[in-house]
Amino acid sequence: MKKAINLLLITLMLCAGTAMAGEPIRLGVVAGMNSSTLNSESYIARIGFNAGVKAEFGLPSAANGPYLSAAALISLKGAKVDLGPLGEITFNPYYLEIPIHVGYKYPVNDRLLFFADAGPYVACGLIGKIKADLVMTDDESENIFGNENLKRFDAGVGLRAGMELNRALQLSVGYDFGLTTVYDAEHYDGSEATAKNGNLSISLAYLFYTR
């Protein structure tokens, strides 16, 4: 946990240094779809979303196309438990997520380029519910970050790749691997149940140059 935070702080310092060095800066908005789950056999994927703002900083380098990217996103993740004919239980955690990636862009022509990047993220749980839709009982819900449910803090690493059109519009696919145990409980039979976040995302971003 501390290593992830320290890495983010170092990367933010690099972003600030890049901005002061006069390299290109781009700001924009991003939104997309999540397909997330918890890495345990009991859970299946659920559909969520991500939306927020992002920035890209050019890196001073002899190579063509290196950059840093940072974003602040509201992200709905979670998972489902399928109980078959009895119903299902849905986990609906909303996170404030901050990913910081290092990447490279390869231009095909003046209007099209491909890019890939990777780096750490940290996230803080904001709100959310665990909702039980069961056949034999009334629907119930409770705070997802309360009592013995999900932990608020999450951290991990992410990978992303995509294309950029007209130096403004980006379409990307990414995956975040959670490294922090967000659920840690003991089953009725004495065995331990632990889980980490995993999230596949498809996002669309619009960026514009500020310098």
pLDDT digits (tens, 9 = 90+) for 62-98: 446 899 999 999 999 999 988 888 888 899 999 999 9
Asked if 70 and 54 touch (Cβ cutoff 8 Å), the reply is yes
Phi–psi pair at 10, nearest 5 degrees: -60, -45
pLDDT attached to residue 140: 73
Query: What does pTM read for this prediction?
Result: 0.84
User: In this structure, what token pair is assigned to residue 90?
Assistant: 């849905």
Predicted pLDDT of residue 86: 84
Q: pLDDT tens digits, residue range 158-197?
A: 999 999 999 899 999 999 999 999 987 654 334 456 789 9
Q: Which of 14, 177, 206, 17 lies closest to 102 in space, CA to CA? A: 14
DSSP one-letter string for 22-84:
T--EEEEEEEEEEEEEESSTT-B-EEEEEEEEEEEEE---SSSSEEEEEEEEEEE--EEEE-G
User: Residues 146, 152, 158, 161: is their CA dihedral positive or negative?
Assistant: positive
> For residue 144, with 0-12 CB atoms within 10 Å meaning exposed, 13-18 middle and 19 or more buried, which class applies?
buried
At 148, the pLDDT band (50, 70, 90 cuts) reads confident
What was the pLDDT predicted at 6? 55
Residue 149 pLDDT > 90, yes or no? no
Q: List, in order of start, the domains of the chain with CATH numbers.
A: 2-209 (2.40.160.20)
The pLDDT value recorded for residue 108 is 93
If one counts every other C-beta atom within 10 angstroms of the C-beta of residue 147, the result is 7
What would the mean pLDDT of 140-149 be, rounded to a whole number? 80
